[in-house]
Amino acid sequence: MDLSEDPDLQPILFGVFLSVYLVTVLGNLLIILIVSSDSRLHTPMYFFLSNLSFSDICFISTTVPKMIMDVWSQNRVISYVDCLTQMSLFIIFICLDDMLLTVMAYDRFVAICHPLRYHSIMNHHLCGFFIFVSFIFSLLISQLQNLTISHFTYFKDTEITNFFCHPSQLLNISCSDTITKNLVMYFVGAISGFLPLSGIFFSYYKIVSSVLRIPSSVGKYKAFSTCGSHLSVVCLFYGTAIGDYFASAASNSPRNSAVASLMYTVFTPMLNPFIYSLRNKDIKSALQKL
């Protein structure tokens, strides 16, 4: 589905989304470059941040380049194989973002609640293991939904009421069995959304409990300040994700659903590097040095 039927808006949409895509890619590449070039940032926290930036580049690249090409060519056709591929990659990198945010919350928990044992716990092997497990988990969730959708029907001349192959849209089209559709949606939602979010809540519950025991207000502020950027990204990520979920599930307007998806898939990856660079003294210092 096109975002606007007004032909006069097409050049504007093309320019806006091309600019957003370039800003997102360059901003996240800059974060990766800063972390890799400054030895002071060779810590688990920034290791996970650079992986999050890489995941955000891949995440936005699954949807926006095709959308830009569709706006330019006025041809919104996608093949069956390309559609399933786009959906699979979308789920992989959105789940990877989800898992990385959970791992980063655990990293902050260890740093604040067990500072003397931080380097022994968050060693290189554990960090690499977290990244590996996050990717395998994301791949399995993606293939589960892919197999479910491809099992029911072969799409032909079907209109998807979004600007990309949205998983819930494909599930609605392919699965006439409401019970099966709901089972898949709730299972995937619980595994890829509820469990990681529960891990984030538990980590921050422990962090808040530990920080409140610090006697000085300066110490409390210093401890909480290391979590500010991560909390901002978590709120942005889950806020737009929940909005996209309810818009896709409950909204009767395809246009509203597409706008909610737009906020989730386009603007969230763009804002992450700004949040970390503007709120983080280490990143700003390394950026000036670079």
Q: Where along the chain do its domains lie?
A: 7-289
Looking up tokens 């370039």, which residue turns up? 22
105-125 pLDDT, tens digit each = 999 999 888 888 998 999 999
pTM (2 d.p.): 0.88
Question: pLDDT averaged over consecutive 10-residue blocks of the chain (290 residues)?
Answer: 75 90 93 89 90 94 91 84 90 92 93 89 93 94 82 71 80 66 70 84 89 77 76 84 68 68 84 78 81
State how far the Cα of 14 lies from the Cα of 70, in Å rounded to an integer.
9
Contacts of 134 (CB under 8 A, 6+ apart): 96, 99, 100, 103
Looking up tokens 């949040």, which residue turns up? 275
Backbone angles phi, psi at 62, to 5 degrees: -80, -20
Nearest to 234 by CA among 260, 263, 272, 208: 272
What is the predicted pLDDT for the residue at 75?
A: 80
What is the predicted pLDDT for the residue at 22?
A: 95
Which DSSP string do the residues of 22-67 spell out, in sequence order? Answer: HHHHHHHHHHHHHHHH-GGG-SHHHHHHHHHHHHHHHHHHTTHHHH
What is the predicted pLDDT for the residue at 6?
A: 72
What is the predicted pLDDT for the residue at 102?
A: 93
Q: What is the largest CA-CA distance in the chain?
A: 66
What is the predicted pLDDT for the residue at 278?
A: 67
224: Cα within 13 Å, side-chain hemisphere: 13
CATH topology of domain 7-289: Rhopdopsin 7-helix transmembrane proteins (1.20.1070)
State how far the Cα of 52 lies from the Cα of 120, in Å rounded to an integer.
23
What is the predicted pLDDT for the residue at 248?
A: 63
What is the predicted pLDDT for the residue at 19?
A: 93
Contacts of 268 (CB under 8 A, 6+ apart): 236, 237, 240
What is the predicted pLDDT for the residue at 176?
A: 61
What is the predicted pLDDT for the residue at 28?
A: 93
